[in-house]
Amino acid sequence: MAEVTFEPAVASLRREVPTARVGVGFISLFTLAYMSANLVFQAPILVTLPLKVSSLVGIKQAPGSLALVASIGAFVAIFGNPFFGRMSDRTTSRLGMRRPWMVIGVVGGTAGVAIVSFAPSIPVVLLGWCIAQLFFNAMLASLAAVLPDQIPVAQRGTVSGVLGICLPIAAVSGTYIVKLFSGQHIATFLVPCATGGFFILLFAVVLNDRHLAKADRPTWSIREFASTFYVKPRTSPDFAWAFASRFMFLMAYALLATYEAYYLLQKIGTTVADVPQQIFLGTLVQGAVIVAASLIGGHLSDRTRRRKIFVFTAAIVYGVAMFALAIASNFNGFLVGMAISGLGFGVFAAVDLALVVDVLPNPGHNGKDLGVFNIAGALPFSLAPALAPTILAIGGGSYGVLYAVAGVCAILAAVAIMGVKGVR
């Protein structure tokens, strides 16, 4: 495991400066845990949650009901991620700063997903999904903080590139598990949680976690609590521009992922029985491209010591993919769009994370600041479901119009990243 050294800093905090290069073993276990964190989110978002909602209210009312569940759940995540990031920054447990929240998050999130699986109505689905979002974001915030805690600057592009493959592999794995247990309703919800939970807990056990002395824990105050949920754009402009870029990019992704099942049903003409299979194939094609693009993009970013040009190009490519999906009229067109999106998403996911870690405002608050930044990932999943019904109404129910809007969001993400000045 990587060793962490400390230098004095202001306000009784300590500035962590990881200097030891991490080995293949650490990277492998960290990647499996990070991939598992994505798995427990992706399986419900892509397949089981939309199908559960549809089974309760019917396909005509499903988009509106899914919008309610997804948007409120994401709203919970917006507050949960930075809050638990702050809590992990302040944790003085003998078990470490990050480890306790990984364990609590897995257990609580799985309980929430179980409630969704047994839910007899939309309000109960909403309750379960909010619980899942709250606790899974506690787990995610503590995992994300491991990157600045343990990874030296010289390796961050490479490690971020490896982490960039986690989402597509998790999406493929999650949809495959759901397909494998198709017809076994409860298993489609809980088996992904059990699978992902195992690897997260394994990493938590072996992690050489940071420890915070009680004397170094900041005094709790209302002002400090309020600062949990924001970083001042005026004093941290690079962080603000990176936030805006991630927000717009993930808005495009949220429109794709949240409504993918309904896109296939309404625009492509897929039958309900074929939705799990076609989403699996789409994520498989997308995932294969993401893996290659992420690994290559992260490595090249470290070699060239450049971040912005990779993020800019990736966002443009993803926008092109959304426009391709907007005009697709059959399943083959859908696969082409998913492949192009994989190229853009892979490079963006790899390099953007390294760029963000490079511009974190306060090294003593890594968990909190990454939690704030993760709002840029959670907020789109709240806004996209809320905005999508309006976009669909204006577009006459056309999912082509919806995905064209997603394309515009991706282009805006490219524009925003150019505002970052402190990173090449």
Q: Which one of 173-187, 204-218, 321-335, 340-354 scores highest in mean pLDDT?
A: 321-335
Q: How confident is the model at residue 367 (pLDDT cuts 50, 70, 90)?
A: low
* Degrees to nearest 5, angle at CA 401 with 399 and 404: 110
pLDDT digit string, tens, across residues 176-186: 888 888 778 88
Note the pLDDT tens digit of each residue in 383-408.
887 788 889 889 888 888 999 999 99
Give the list of residues 6+ apart from residue 186 with CB closer than 8 angstroms, or none. 117, 118
DSSP 177-197: HHHHTTT-HHHHHHHHHHHHH
What is residue 203's three-state secondary structure?
A: helix
CB 18 within 8 A of CB 25: no
Residue 412's SS3 state is helix
Q: Which residue has better confidence, 296 or 358?
A: 296
Tokens of 210: 């940071």
**Which of residues 118 and 64 earns the better pLDDT score?**
118
What confidence category does residue 341 fall into, taking pLDDT thresholds of 50, 70 and 90? Answer: very high
- Is the pLDDT at 356 greater than 60? The verdict is yes
Phi and psi angles of residue 319, each rounded to the nearest 5 degrees, phi first: -60, -40
Q: What is the pLDDT of residue 412?
A: 96
14 forms bridges with which residues in the sheet? 8
pLDDT of residue 156: 75
Assess whether pLDDT exceeds 70 at residue 317.
yes
Q: Output the pLDDT for position 153.
A: 72
Higher pLDDT, 359 or 225: 359
Domains and CATH numbers, the chain: 21-208+232-417 (1.20.1250.20)
pLDDT digits (tens, 9 = 90+) for 60-110: 788 788 888 988 888 888 888 788 887 888 888 888 989 999 999 999 999
Contact 106, 139 (CB under 8 A): yes
Per-residue pLDDT, 5:
33
Rounded-to-integer distance, Cα 207 and Cα 213, Å: 18
User: What tens digit of pLDDT does each residue of 226-255 get?
Assistant: 655 556 667 678 888 888 898 999 999 888
CA distance 86 to 370: 9
pTM above 0.85, yes or no: no
Mean pLDDT of the chain: 83
